[in-house]
Structure 1
């Protein structure tokens, strides 16, 4: 079975604080953020709602995408989220179901 890597965006709330990351295990990484074991930034600002995720087969492509998105203007990130998740639903619940 091939490894899948994800670039993801977490939010504190709609139009709130954003965090962009990359992981080889999206379910586990989101769980860590939700339970205070993720980045100190997400813990401090209460950023734990999964609002965007992109899958990659190549880890280098995923890392390059994460670095690119992190450099984007905030408005571009909001547009990316709105395009795929206009209701700003927490997508974490859909990962296990």
Structure 2
């Protein structure tokens, strides 16, 4: 089983990753052996995860979520699927809301 996950860092920022060993990967982040981004923002806390059949699928979703803004990631973490389309930076609703 593969995972895409989001951790919240000690500074409040999010880190998005993918792995085949979720528990081990979170532990690595907290031990300072994870990504350079989280190394200086410990401790991290798992706030969202989804499982995938293949690591390629988890990695593709990781890359997709990495491109999302903070509000869209917050909606994903809350499980607010209905809000995701309107929070897209390129959506017409988002553009009208900025005007």
* TM bucket normalised to smaller: 0.7 to 0.9
Give the unaligned 5+ runs of structure 2: 81-99
Q: Please report the TM-score for the alignment, with normalisation by the length of structure 2.
A: 0.74
Give the unaligned 5+ runs of structure 1: 85-97
Aligned to 1:11: 8
In the comparison of the two structures, how many residue pairs are matched? 80
Q: CA RMSD in A?
A: 1.8
Deviation per residue, 1:35-91 (Å, 9 max, x gap): 11111110112251000000001222111100100001111001111228xxxxxxx
Query: Relative to total residues, which structure has the larger helix share, 1 or 2?
Result: 2
Q: How does 1:51-70 map to 2 (within 5 A)?
A: 51-70=47-66
Higher relative contact order (CA 8 A, sep 6+): 1
